Amino acid sequence: MRGGEAIIESLKKMGVETIFGYPGGQTIPFYDMLYDADIDHILVRHEQAAAHAADGFARASGKVGVCLATSGPGATNLVTGIATSYMDSSPIVAITGQVPTHLIGNDAFQEADIMGITMPIVKHSFQPKDPDLIPSIIKTSFDIAASGRPGPVLIDVPKEVQEGELTSFDDNLIQIPGYKPTLKGNPRQIKKACELIKQAKRPLVLAGAGVILADACSEFNEFVHLINAPVMTSLLGKGAINEKDELALGMLGMHGRKVSNDSVNECDLLIAIGIRFSDRTTGRLDSFVPDSKVIHIDIDPAEIGKNVDVDLPIVGDAKNILNSLNNLFKGYKASNEVNAWTDKIKQRKIDLLPRVTYDDVPLKPQSVIKEISEVLTPESILTTDVGQNQMWAAHFYDTQKPRKFISSGGLGTMGFGFPSAIGAKVACPQDPVVSINGDGGFLMVCQELATVYDYDLPVIAVVLENRTLGMVYQWQSLLYNERHSETKFKDSPDFVKLAESFGINAVRVEKPGETKDVLKTAIKDNEAILIDIVIDSEESLPMLPPGAGINEMIGEYKLEKDVI
């Protein structure tokens, strides 16, 4: 067995059925061996899309996503995708070809020090110099990527290692004594948390992606109902709780739901789970929950106390810890004070529901998201790009299940939405997959329409067309005297013709109600489609200006109850 075959065998052993990649000079041996292998390969049209697709696959399935690129430019094109998954703790394994070992360091053709380049954005990386090590390296990479706080692992395989013969297939040649994530929460800390929760009069829960990554959503749901505390989430925490649940207030943060941003500083106990308190979630730190105690549960000890001072940390896996907490709270009845507080917040949620009903032309993005919400089932997957489209989706779309809202949070990568939807569709072929994009971000990755066509992947690409780079445009409108520097396009391409040139159906939508009809038909027909939706370019979203506290939003927050 040769090195490349060992990669394929090892991937299969890890349960991998599909990889996303793009061949090149230094991966020709691998691709030759792939030719006869029974593992699916999706040929993307740009390596960055391979990384995003692997990431989307991982987020939708909970399994490790795999992407592949050649050395040099192929590898550097993966960098944005690897950084995206690193920031959002998404488990991917990125395999790159490398020039033959004897040429490394010689500035050989298509040589790049991808190990060095990616060092700050991977959880770990390997460069096998001996084919015998490949099975162990792949196994260890999957273990590192998926366990503890998940993240990307890079494997850089020199060309001759892909071709070299293994003396034997042994995947236990590598030990990693320095890697031992803490999974079980300290029982004493858990007991103390229990006491703090019982003493609290105005508890709030803040859930991040960690709850979803730990596959702890049902335990989480049980927990918040046991203690009857309202729940906010971060952007990536969307789906940790069914957002139609009365306890779910919605997203907290720079573009958060008014009910969450207004209420967070009123709590006397914040229970934060699987979250890293990003500046986009907390706003100005010194005015964030000033009068509240904080319990912070996270698997990464380095997140404890990094941004927000914590009264009670519990390091460990959210599922384990929530299970222990639920056992301690079995049969527990929340105090009258807590019930009164929670009732008040529940009512506030209803009073402050954001306005989504509009019949304006050009369309308001809020009403577009509303129409999409009305068609999609709880199982449907929504991926977003980055910018206004992302915040509209996050703000106005109620995510009902975990792993059904996929978005680039930490890195905020434009061009993530569409390729991540390809990965999500491969992971969940039975579920409708809709990607919400702006016209800016979509053009960064529109070549992937070819991938969708080639593999007959029924991905629905929504393009919210406002002919601006909306989020920056909005900042310029609100904070820079309407000096719209380089954020207005002269015009957009004809997205319908663009899609059709790839063999993908497309429809242009301009009026209320049309989005709903087109989407319904697309889901029923189970075909790829691009829906180009022309929206009001002046519409903006209330926001926290930089340096502001969480409850100091600017911009008018229109309410649904005010709709006449």
Partner 1 sequence: MEEEYHIISTLVENRPGVLQKIAGLFTRRDFNIEGITVGKSETKGLARMVITVKADEKILEQVTKQLNKLVDVIKIKDITKNAVKRELCLIKVSTASEVERAEILQYSNIFRAQIIDVSEETLIVEITGDGDKINAFISLLERFGIRKISRTGITAMSRGI
Does 139 qualify as catalytic in the annotation? no
The interface with partner 1 within residues 143-202 (CB under 8 A) comprises 144, 176-179
Identify the active-site residue in 5, 47, 303, 465.
47
Taking the complex as a whole, the smallest distance from the CB of residue 177 to partner 1 amounts, in Å, to 6
Does 471 qualify as catalytic in the annotation? yes
Does 115 qualify as catalytic in the annotation? no
Taking the complex as a whole, the smallest distance from the CB of residue 138 to partner 1 amounts, in Å, to 15
Comparing CB distances to partner 1, the nearer of 180 and 561 is 180
Q: Dihedrals φ, ψ of 233, to 5°?
A: -130, 165
Query: What distance in Å separates the CA atoms of residue 38 and residue 31, rounded to the nearest whole number?
Result: 13
Comparing CB distances to partner 1, the nearer of 178 and 547 is 178
Comparing CB distances to partner 1, the nearer of 153 and 460 is 153
Comparing CB distances to partner 1, the nearer of 411 and 452 is 411
302 is a site residue for partner 1 (CB under 8 A): yes
Does 159 qualify as catalytic in the annotation? yes
Identify the active-site residue in 109, 244, 511, 538.
109
Interface characters, 303-342, with partner 1 (x: CB under 8 A): -xxx------------------------------------
Comparing CB distances to partner 1, the nearer of 73 and 105 is 105
The interface with partner 1 within residues 232-251 (CB under 8 A) comprises none
Residue 180, SS3 per DSSP: coil
Identify the active-site residue in 471, 476, 539, 543.
471
The interface with partner 1 within residues 443-472 (CB under 8 A) comprises none
Taking the complex as a whole, the smallest distance from the CB of residue 30 to partner 1 amounts, in Å, to 23
Question: Residues with Cβ < 8 Å from 77, sequence gap 6 or more?
Answer: 46, 47, 48, 69
> Which tokens hold the place of 97?
């070809």
Q: How many CA atoms lie within 13 A of 264 on its CB side?
A: 35
Taking the complex as a whole, the smallest distance from the CB of residue 303 to partner 1 amounts, in Å, to 9
As a residue count, the chain comes to 564
Question: Residues with Cβ < 8 Å from 450, sequence gap 6 or more?
Answer: 45, 502
The region of 242-250, 295-303, 333-341, 415-423 touching partner 1 under the rule CB under 8 A is: 295-303
Interface characters, 104-133, with partner 1 (x: CB under 8 A): -----------xx--xx--xx---------
**Helix, strand counts (H, E) of the chain:** 22, 18
Comparing CB distances to partner 1, the nearer of 183 and 478 is 183
Comparing CB distances to partner 1, the nearer of 247 and 299 is 299
Reported in sequence order, the residue ranges of 120-240 that DSSP labels E, i.e. its strands, are 124-126, 153-158, 203-207, 231-233
| Burial of 471 (C-beta count, 10 Å sphere; 0-12/13-18/19+) | buried
Residue in 443, 441, 467, 434 with CA at minimum distance from that of residue 387: 441
Taking the complex as a whole, the smallest distance from the CB of residue 298 to partner 1 amounts, in Å, to 11
The region of 6-14, 266-274, 301-309, 351-359 touching partner 1 under the rule CB under 8 A is: 301-309
Among 62, 100, 301, 362, binds partner 1 (CB under 8 A): 301
Does 391 qualify as catalytic in the annotation? no
Query: What distance in Å separates the CA atoms of residue 88 and residue 152, rounded to the nearest whole number?
Result: 10
Identify the active-site residue in 1, 110, 192, 246.
110
The region of 39-47, 272-280, 302-310, 509-517 touching partner 1 under the rule CB under 8 A is: 302-310
β partners of residue 157: 97
For residues 550, 555, 559, 562, the Cα torsion angle rounded to the nearest 10 degrees is 140
DSSP notation for 301-320: GGGTTTSS--SEEEES-HHH
Query: What distance in Å separates the CA atoms of residue 539 and residue 365, rounded to the nearest whole number?
Result: 8
Comparing CB distances to partner 1, the nearer of 101 and 551 is 101
Comparing CB distances to partner 1, the nearer of 121 and 352 is 121
Query: What distance in Å separates the CA atoms of residue 297 and residue 308, rounded to the nearest whole number?
Result: 12
Taking the complex as a whole, the smallest distance from the CB of residue 143 to partner 1 amounts, in Å, to 10
Query: What distance in Å separates the CA atoms of residue 367 and residue 556, rounded to the nearest whole number?
Result: 17
Query: What distance in Å separates the CA atoms of residue 254 and residue 547, rounded to the nearest whole number?
Result: 10
The CA-atom distances, in angstroms, between 129 and each of 60, 109, 144, 155, 188 are 33, 19, 20, 11, 46
Taking the complex as a whole, the smallest distance from the CB of residue 301 to partner 1 amounts, in Å, to 5
Interface characters, 49-88, with partner 1 (x: CB under 8 A): ----------------------------------------
Count of chain residues binding partner 1 (CB under 8 A): 17
Taking the complex as a whole, the smallest distance from the CB of residue 306 to partner 1 amounts, in Å, to 6
| Burial of 458 (C-beta count, 10 Å sphere; 0-12/13-18/19+) | middle
Identify the active-site residue in 123, 159, 258, 516.
159
Taking the complex as a whole, the smallest distance from the CB of residue 148 to partner 1 amounts, in Å, to 9
Query: What distance in Å separates the CA atoms of residue 535 and residue 389, rounded to the nearest whole number?
Result: 11
Catalytic residues: 47, 109-110, 159, 471
The residues that touch partner 1, with contacts defined as CB under 8 A, are: 115-116, 119-120, 123-124, 144, 176-179, 300-302, 304-306
